[in-house]
Each structure stands twice: as structure tokens, then as C-alpha cells.
């Protein structure tokens, strides 16, 4: 299966964006509001998403089956840290910028509950992705 240039270009672009984020985090670590491993996991998610597009475009079935596992693992890392990591977290919900603020004051508990729930759901999706990839073997995923 041949992919169009747009898919391949998007894959290369996503990989480049992840690389750029990692380089920026490395060059200016003082600007990170999270531990380095969280920022690098986020950057790696872009790389894995781009690699998935490239694998689909080139027809690499085994990579196409397992790259979503790596991508989901990277996407689960930030909510895991926010929900269950040590230290105080401050977050709130806002719609349309700051026009409509929900949950009022930014506090630790709602932040941890929301991101903790997202992390648990993400881990469930990760388990399903592992099961699907293991079933696929070398066949094209459906």
C-alpha cells in the first residue's frame, strides 16, 4: 500500500515537531513546568505518531501494530504525573480563554481527580492496544 505525499509529509512533520520539542526542552530546561521525563515523553509521542503515519504509508504491518502502544504509553505519562506524582498541582477549567471559569479557584484536588481518572482510562486503553498488537502479529491491523 502506497501512501500519498501528504501522509508521509505529516509523518515527517510530526517526527520533526517531537524532535524540536525535545531539543527546546534540553536547551532551556528552566522553562519546563514539569519533570524532564514528562516533557520528553510528550515529545516522543509526536515522534511515535509520525512514525505510525510513516509505517502505515510504507506498509510495515508489525510496526503499525505496535507503534500505537508506544504512542499511548507516552500520552499516559503526563496525566499519570499530574494525577499521582508528588508535589502540589494547580489547574482549572476555562472556556473561551478566561471568559467563563469553571471550578472557580485553581486547586490541587480537582486537578488530581481529573487527571488521575484520565490516567486510569489511558492505562486501560494501553492494555487494549497491547492485546490488539499481540493478536495482530505480522498481519495488517484492522
Phi, psi dihedrals of residue 91, rounded to the nearest 5°: -155, 160
Q: Is the pLDDT of residue 20 over 70?
A: yes
Measured distance CA(69)–CA(131) in Å, rounded: 10
What residues does each domain of the chain span? 5-136
The Cβ of residue 76 has, within 10 Å, a number of other Cβ atoms equal to: 21
* Tens digit of each residue's pLDDT (9 = 90 or more) over 71-121: 999 999 999 999 998 888 877 666 666 555 555 556 778 788 889 999 999
3-state helix, strand, coil in the chain (%, to 5): 70, 10, 20
Measured distance CA(102)–CA(92) in Å, rounded: 7
Amino acid at each position: 500500500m502506497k501512501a500519498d505525499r501528504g501522509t508521509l509529509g505529516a509523518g515527517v512533520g510530526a517526527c520533526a515537531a517531537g524532535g524540536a520539542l525535545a531539543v527546546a526542552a534540553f536547551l532551556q530546561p528552566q522553562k519546563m513546568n514539569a519533570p524532564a521525563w514528562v516533557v520528553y515523553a510528550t515529545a516522543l509521542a509526536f515522534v511515535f505518531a509520525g512514525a505510525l503515519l510513516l509505517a502505515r504509508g510504507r506498509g510495515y504491518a508489525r510496526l503499525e501494530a505496535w507503534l500505537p502502544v508506544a504512542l499511548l504509553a507516552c500520552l499516559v505519562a503526563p496525566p499519570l504525573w499530574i494525577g499521582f506524582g508528588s508535589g502540589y498541582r494547580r489547574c482549572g477549567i476555562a472556556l473561551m480563554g478566561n471568559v467563563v471559569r469553571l471550578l472557580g479557584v485553581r486547586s490541587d484536588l480537582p486537578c488530581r481527580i481529573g487527571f488521575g481518572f484520565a490516567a486510569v482510562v489511558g492505562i486501560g486503553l494501553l492494555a487494549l492496544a497491547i492485546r490488539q498488537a499481540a493478536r495482530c502479529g505480522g498481519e495488517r491491523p484492522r
